[in-house]
Structure 1
Amino acid sequence: MKMSEESAKISRATLSDVCRHTGLSTATVSRVINQTGNVKAATVKKVMDAIAQLGYVPNHAARALAGQRNKMIGVVFPEISTGFWAEILKGLDAEADDHQYHILTAFSHGGQDERELALRLLGEGRIDALVVMNLRLGKDFMQQAGRFNIPVILIDRPIAGLETASVTLDNVTGACQAMTHLYEHGYEQVVILAGDLETYDARQRLMGCKKAAKAAKVAWDDRLVVASSFTEEGGSRAIDTWFKQSVKPPRAIFCFNDNIAIGAMNALEKRGFAVPDDVAVIGFDDIDSARHLKLTTVHVPVLEMGRAAANAAIQVISNQAFNKQQVLPTQLVLRRSCGCLVEAEQKVCAG
């Protein structure tokens, strides 16, 4: 079996090459590779950059270069703060198990750590594919990752111009459905709690909001978009930000995830405003607590995302044809927080 040119290039790089490139001792470089001892973050970055540039693969990865599989898929998560990621992981693991693969999971701690962690997993050669989830890793990272000859699967954020497999959501349609529903309730002024607008999801959902406004012939107003973070604390802060510019609460709010919505509802309640009597609220994701809180939200097929990502990884590993970009559907789920069930309850009482 012939190695590819890329594999041959990788195999020629040695530990000594990495040491010469970085000007560091063999002991220091080995500590970085084996993750032993205390090594400064700057030194770790220097070594990992050199490994990526030279295409060095540690000795324990030799069997991967020889074409043997580890039956292991690596997964890098951005955080562990919500159950959203746990559900995706559950889907990943279920699909992997169906094909006799295991999952190796790691959590990053910020932007630079994401890159170093992902490159380290690729460089160790212990995985057959890497799944990265909504990380801020761009085309330059993918070019570095390509040196290791290990497929990378993207969840939640495709990168244009690459042949990499990705699994994403139909964020535009989901957000458009939510905003359209609020407009149909008669709320022409809808405040949007957008989370982090630098993320792919938030940008896509904002596109959906603008699409709905245009279809409803509602003038778009950037002042109604409040950015924060995708957490309950972010939702609470966003409400505080709104009340710094207005004495009245918004009549309707669309939140870019359910955690923001829960934080916003708690903040509104502390200020004496009831949902949905005073303020209608819609979220996005349909997490477990959304059902308990009767939160109208956009359902996301989370388990299916995990399964689709694992399946794509296994197809690439096995050199099978794969769908380069899978877009999973989203669907608005009506509950009490937008006022729909309240109207139904009132009709029942009146009848």
Structure 2
Amino acid sequence: MNVKSRIRIAAAVGAAALGLSLFASPASADPIPSTDYRQLVGVGSDTTQDVGNGLGLAIADPNNSPSTKLIASYDATGSSPIKTRAVNCSIPRPNGSSAGIDALRADLAAPAGSTTKNCIDFARSSRTPADTTTSTKLTWIPFAKDAVTVVVRSGSPLNTTVGFTTQQLHDIYTCTKTTHNGVALKPLLPQLNSGTRTFFLGKINVTEAQVGTCVNGTVQEHDGTALTDNGNIAPYSIAQYIAQTGGVVTDRHGVTVLLKVDGIEPRVGGQLNVAFPYNRDVYNVVPTAKLTGGATPDADLISAFETNTSKVCAQTGVITDYGFGTIANCGNVTLKGER
């Protein structure tokens, strides 16, 4: 039985047990049942929430306590608050990389005995550290390769075989370019806590202060149904698009299509083009003190994420089934920062 089949069956069984539709929208793939509390809890990035859920299903807890599975990955969207431990730990659901990282930082800063202490073990992130100078409190551990391109509606005059250049995208998102192929442009960006938003703006050389007033910057990332106008254009994870259109996860792509950037195809043979110009590693962010050599090493956290022989890095089939590429630096612990 392949990875896709195992994931679908496990999700369907859990959903059926709760009387839920597997393909309800928006879908939530938190641990099923909700009382399946697991040793390692992760929150944050929308981009990697689904592969996080897949890894959660695939990786067993070595001592079967408190669950038979090691990793609990809570989606970026869904009902809030979420409850991550059997006792205490009812916390707001973090939506996006930055929100997940901030939730992990707040957990670490909470006083001993607090009802929100030790509720989160790692944050999913599709961006690198924003602050590498204040401290090395957190470590960004890469586990897969993704890339970001732009999508438009399939029937829009913006849908061409040429796509866009980086300079054109810069001009669109600063609102100095307002039409293309006779269409009034209505660019979209994900919400402020999105790692994809931060990454994409960096690639097109636009700061937050330079984002133009023509941009709607409040849409949920990787949700093609948000593109309702022929002038809409939005950044999109290629891995998410592949997983959505391949039936691995709930399909949110709507009628959107991936476009070239600077003449480069986003996919090769249906798979992620790891040479796409806007490519990026994606990360699990963990407390540095809990890694090997830290003040409070955590054996479960180390075995799950650290080194290229970790439990996560061993799951290459899961990683590629969710549209991501594998990387040689999986499990590397050299990238550190504060936020």
Q: Name the TM tier (shorter chain).
A: 0.3 to 0.5
Q: If each structure's helix is expressed as a fraction of its own residues, which one has the higher value? A: 1
**TM-score, scaled relative to structure 2:** 0.38
**TM-score, scaled relative to structure 1:** 0.37
Q: If each structure's strand is expressed as a fraction of its own residues, which one has the higher value? A: 2
Q: Which has the higher contact order (CA 8 A, sep 6+)?
A: 2
Tell which structure's C-alpha radius of gyration is larger.
1
